[in-house]
Chain A
Amino acid sequence: MSQTPLLDLSGLRKAYPGVVANDDVTFAIQPGEVHALLGENGAGKSTLVKMIYGLVRPDAGTMMLNGTPFAPPEPRAARAAGVAMVFQHFSLFEALSVAENVALGMENPPKPSALAARITEVSNTYGLPLDPNRRVGDLSAGERQRVEIIRCLLQDPRLLIMDEPTSVLTPQEVDILFATLRKLRAEGTAILYISHKLEEIRSLCDAATILRLGKVVARCNPREKTASELAELMVGTSLKPPKSGGAAPGDIILKAQDLSMPSASAFGTPLRNISFELRRGEVLGIGGVAGNGQDELLMALSGERKLPQGSLYFEGEDIGTRPADMRRRIGVLSAPEERLGHAAAPNMSLTENAALTAARRQGMLSRGFVNWGAAKGFAEKVIGAFDVRTPGPGVAARALSGGNLQKFVIGREVMQAPEVLIVNQPTWGVDAAAAAFIRQSMLDLAAKGTGVVVISQDLDELMEISDRFAALNEGRLSAEVPTGDLTMEKIGLMLGGAQTTAMEQA
């Protein structure tokens, strides 16, 4: 290496009680380089970027920024040194405008009018269309991300850290983002890019550092590797793509007919006249950008929210007015997106969380009394069958990593032999190995005759496992199309086209 690296990390170590998150992590980022940070969930990526951004202090090791020692005690210091970060979860106030949100993140915000002009200028320069006066609550996920990015760009960063930036974007929005990132690179800004999407990394990144269990296991040029080679480096073993059982779809098992549901909160999305048919043995994929009614659709189908009569049928029987536990009894099971707090109670043990949905269907109840021994047995069965890494069923749900808890949550429903399974974002924030496992388990269910509805923002995932595809937009569902007839571009148009119409109406 002839030139001084922009950021040089050497021997970084950070241990938490019971786990070493980073151990002897050494790598360098050159100016004007898009550097990928790859690794499974729990590999230590988050801890590493938190150390660079001053959220966590390393136990050992040194960081050098432009050849001078760099040890930010807090994010403000990191920002002052030219390090900016776009988080996976946005920290924006929905009731405020774009400009107000940007101002809130600045140390010395300029006058509102000057700031608005700056935002417009930056957004034009980098091809990120954004109106500074719009209310954030009205923006799409992609537009919200632009707010975060522009907030960073206004600081003229030398290093921009992006954590899973494309997970909420349509293919078209991804293209816009990549154009912006390439432009930044051309100007000499380095980008540390965290993602699970290996194809994206291959097309965008100049270098990659791969972490496994807190340690650097490989450095490579991602363009010289195939996606499966990268995945193997990440996981440490080879991965098989999910295989469908190829069973022919059977009778209609779940049918939504003109299903409408008002939104529960001011920033929720009402469901509007949703109709679809699900057959035994098929996987129906429902795509869409975040915030277009995915949560609401899951709540409507799971029974968490009651529906008017005549809008949801299971094997020809109207089940719209039945509560969640009565739907479970007949085999309509579901797994919501949010693992902690919705699918599982954070402070409760896995045994208790197993009983959360399985108590009635798995015969753990007699006259209302819970057989905790049976619940523990069922939790152990799920842990074993789904390879959930945990000391045992007595552990609290929040002590599990995201991927492990997701395996538990999906496994809990799959192991109950559902007739219909509805899942929202089954592999969100889950590492490649666990994601492949979860997808395979849903295909296996379908092969046994279960009807599976997968709501997801990951279009690759939907293309891989679903037989038919429909797009959810502003609470409306498009007609279902066989996945075999679709290309990524066509799906993008389905989502994007629908979006344009919605924006014209607004």
Chain B
Amino acid sequence: MIWLEKRPAPSRTWSAASPIVAVFLTLIAGGIMFAILGKNPFEALRTIFWDPLFHEQFASFSRPQLLVKAGPLILIAIGLSFGFRAGIWNIGAEGQYIMGAIVGAAVGLALYPSESVLIFPLMVVAGALGGWAWAMIPGLLKVRFGTNEILVSLMLVYVAENILASAAVGWLKNPDGAGFPGSRNLSQWEASANPELIAGTGAHWGVMAAVIAVVFAYVVFTKHILGFHIRLSGEAPRAARFAGVNPNLLVLVCLGLSGALAGLAGLFEVTGPAGQIGIDFNVGYGFTAIIVAFLGRLHPIGILLAGLLMALTYIGGELASFMLSIPGAAIQAFQGMLLFFLLGVDVATHYRVRFGRKGVA
């Protein structure tokens, strides 16, 4: 019989090793899945993990995509990690991402066709505020009425999607767009454009913001009393209250921060890679970022690495479905395996696996 015994203290070795073990197990299980689908597993894995970076023909196109995709994932996941560490579950980053993009774009488009250099910074602030305000809805409802932030933030994603649709076909529609849905192209309007900063890398302002967010989160969690209080609230809520933490304030700070960063990610996306407010503007970064946050152990450096890895599986997945005609659903299952194995291996951090007869009833 196999059973689990709780460790006296969480294992540091396993805590550090579990993402690596999880990735390894995902490779094995994924390889088996690709083999069952009749594909050469080694070729499939090589196409997903190696070719996007080093393939002589595709790498020049797909390599910059790595940062383009990893940027918003990391930015959003860093924001989420603040709440997740404190036991505050913002599941609606996708909605905050959409609202940040809409509010930022709307502020910019209101000033069209001005060429002022202040427009882009103004849009950045508006984008952060848009995401922040959207996150304040579940925050205030939780603080005031004790509603569940998981449900409220998640439901608001669908509200945001409808607002996005109405903006794309209505009030933000490009007046010169011959009736097609979608706003003016923000990446082609110099005042609002968020271009690639270093040619060939894919790094735009959003990637810079993600790097800054990683550093900021690292400093807050390791050095600042706010980070300590956030961790304390997650570990022992009563001890946090005893220490003097105001739980309601913490809910608003954590949700606000994650909302603002998701809003920023949306703004940088709509002014850069996406270019315009369209009906299908959001592609699920807000949800994938939840996986990234946990895959990265809610640790800023971990999130940085997890964001890059997740971006790689996206790009590699596209490449694999294009080159080897592996179905998209198989790629998604492959990404899901990563989280599955991570959570599974995580058990080893807190428990010891024992074989044989149970000694404790």
- Our verdict on whether A and B bind, yes or no, reads yes
Residues of A within 8 A of B (CB): 16-18, 54-57, 73-76, 302-304, 323-326, 328, 336, 338, 341-348, 352, 355-357, 359, 365, 368-370, 372, 395-396, 398-399
Which 6 A/B pairs are nearest by Cβ-Cβ distance? A325-B244, A74-B361, A324-B244, A345-B236, A57-B359, A342-B238
Contact of A368 among B10, B224, B242 (CB under 8 A): B224
Contact A323 B244 (CB under 8 A): yes
Q: Does B17 contact A (CB under 8 A)?
A: no
Contact A341 B9 (CB under 8 A): no
Q: Does B235 contact A (CB under 8 A)?
A: yes
Contact A348 B235 (CB under 8 A): yes
Contact B9 A324 (CB under 8 A): no
Q: How far does the Cβ of B233 sit from chain A's closest Cβ, in whole Å? A: 10
Contact B226 A356 (CB under 8 A): no
Contacts of B238 in A (CB 8 A): 338, 341-342
Contact A343 B239 (CB under 8 A): yes
Contacts of B9 in A (CB 8 A): 347, 395-396, 398-399
Question: CA separation between A54 and B359, bound complex, in Å?
Answer: 9
Q: Does B232 contact A (CB under 8 A)?
A: yes
Q: Does B223 contact A (CB under 8 A)?
A: yes
Contacts of B226 in A (CB 8 A): 368
Contact of B244 among A328, A348, A368, A398 (CB under 8 A): A328
Which chain A residue has the least Cβ–Cβ distance from B238?
A342
Q: Does B283 contact A (CB under 8 A)?
A: no
Question: CA separation between A18 and B9, bound complex, in Å?
Answer: 12
22 A–B contacts from the bound complex (CB under 8 Å): A73-B361, A76-B361, A324-B241, A324-B242, A325-B243, A328-B244, A336-B242, A342-B236, A343-B242, A344-B236, A345-B236, A345-B240, A348-B236, A356-B232, A357-B243, A359-B225, A368-B226, A369-B224, A369-B225, A370-B223, A370-B225, A370-B228
Q: Does B323 contact A (CB under 8 A)?
A: no
Contacts of A55 in B (CB 8 A): 360-361
Q: Does B38 contact A (CB under 8 A)?
A: no
Q: Does B113 contact A (CB under 8 A)?
A: no
Contacts of B241 in A (CB 8 A): 304, 324
Q: Does B246 contact A (CB under 8 A)?
A: yes
Contacts of A324 in B (CB 8 A): 241-244
Contact B239 A54 (CB under 8 A): no
Q: Does B146 contact A (CB under 8 A)?
A: no
Contact of B246 among A323, A342, A344, A355 (CB under 8 A): A323
Question: CA separation between A55 and B360, bound complex, in Å?
Answer: 6
Contact B235 A342 (CB under 8 A): no
Contact of B232 among A57, A75, A76, A348 (CB under 8 A): A348
Contact A368 B225 (CB under 8 A): yes
Contact of B361 among A18, A54, A368 (CB under 8 A): A54
Question: CA separation between A90 and B223, bound complex, in Å?
Answer: 41
Question: CA separation between A326 and B9, bound complex, in Å?
Answer: 33
Question: CA separation between A356 and B241, bound complex, in Å?
Answer: 10
Contact B223 A369 (CB under 8 A): yes
Given A343-B242, A369-B223, A369-B225, 14 other A-B contacts at CB below 8 A? A16-B8, A17-B8, A57-B359, A303-B244, A323-B246, A324-B242, A325-B243, A328-B244, A336-B242, A341-B236, A345-B235, A348-B231, A355-B228, A370-B223
Contact B239 A347 (CB under 8 A): no
Contacts of A368 in B (CB 8 A): 224-226
Contacts of B239 in A (CB 8 A): 341-345, 356
Specify the main secondary structure of chain B where it touches its partner: helix
The number of inter-chain residue pairs (CB within 8 angstroms) is 86
Q: How far does the Cβ of A355 sit from chain B's closest Cβ, in whole Å? A: 7
**What interface size band does chain B fall in?**
20 to 34
Contact of B8 among A365, A370, A399 (CB under 8 A): A399
Question: CA separation between A304 and B245, bound complex, in Å?
Answer: 9
Contacts of A54 in B (CB 8 A): 361
Question: CA separation between A74 and B359, bound complex, in Å?
Answer: 9
Contact B360 A56 (CB under 8 A): yes
Question: CA separation between A338 and B224, bound complex, in Å?
Answer: 27
Question: CA separation between A323 and B245, bound complex, in Å?
Answer: 9
* A54-B361, A336-B242 as given contacts; A365 in contact with B232, CB under 8 Å: no
Contacts of A352 in B (CB 8 A): 228, 232
Contacts of B360 in A (CB 8 A): 55-57
Q: Mark B1-31, 1 if CB is under 8 A from A, else 0.
A: 0000000111000000000000000000000
Which chain A residue has the least Cβ–Cβ distance from B352?
A17
Question: CA separation between A348 and B10, bound complex, in Å?
Answer: 11
Contact B244 A346 (CB under 8 A): no
Which chain A residue has the least Cβ–Cβ distance from B226?
A368
Question: CA separation between A434 and B152, bound complex, in Å?
Answer: 50
Q: Which residues of B from 268 to 282 have beta carbons under 8 Å from A?
A: none
Q: From B225, B240, B359, B361, name the one whose CB has the most chain A CB atoms within 10 angstroms.
A: B361
Q: From A17, A345, A348, A369, name the one whose CB has the most chain B CB atoms within 10 angstroms.
A: A345
Contacts of B10 in A (CB 8 A): 347, 396
Contact B243 A356 (CB under 8 A): yes
Question: CA separation between A495 and B104, bound complex, in Å?
Answer: 66
Q: From A57, A355, A369, name the one whose CB has the most chain B CB atoms within 10 angstroms.
A: A369
Contact of A75 among B235, B240, B246, B361 (CB under 8 A): B361
Question: CA separation between A76 and B361, bound complex, in Å?
Answer: 9
Contacts of A365 in B (CB 8 A): 225
Question: CA separation between A338 and B236, bound complex, in Å?
Answer: 12
Which chain B residue has the least Cβ–Cβ distance from A56?
B360
Q: How far does the Cβ of A430 sit from chain B's closest Cβ, in whole Å? A: 19
Q: How far does the Cβ of B219 sit from chain A's closest Cβ, in whole Å? A: 8
Q: From B9, B225, B239, B242, name the one whose CB has the most chain A CB atoms within 10 angstroms.
A: B242
Contact A346 B242 (CB under 8 A): no
Question: CA separation between A323 and B8, bound complex, in Å?
Answer: 34
Q: From A74, A303, A341, name the one whose CB has the most chain B CB atoms within 10 angstroms.
A: A341
Which chain B residue has the least Cβ–Cβ distance from A73?
B361
Contacts of A345 in B (CB 8 A): 232, 235-236, 239-240
Question: CA separation between A17 and B6, bound complex, in Å?
Answer: 12
Question: CA separation between A111 and B359, bound complex, in Å?
Answer: 34
Contacts of A75 in B (CB 8 A): 361
Question: CA separation between A344 and B239, bound complex, in Å?
Answer: 6
Q: Which residues of B from 180 to 226 have beta carbons under 8 Å from A?
A: 223-226
Which chain A residue has the least Cβ–Cβ distance from B223?
A369
Contacts of B224 in A (CB 8 A): 368-370
Question: CA separation between A229 and B134, bound complex, in Å?
Answer: 69
Q: How far does the Cβ of A351 sit from chain B's closest Cβ, in whole Å? A: 11
Contacts of A369 in B (CB 8 A): 223-225
Question: CA separation between A323 and B248, bound complex, in Å?
Answer: 13
Question: CA separation between A444 and B188, bound complex, in Å?
Answer: 75
Which chain A residue has the least Cβ–Cβ distance from B246?
A323
Q: How far does the Cβ of B93 sit from chain A's closest Cβ, in whole Å? A: 26
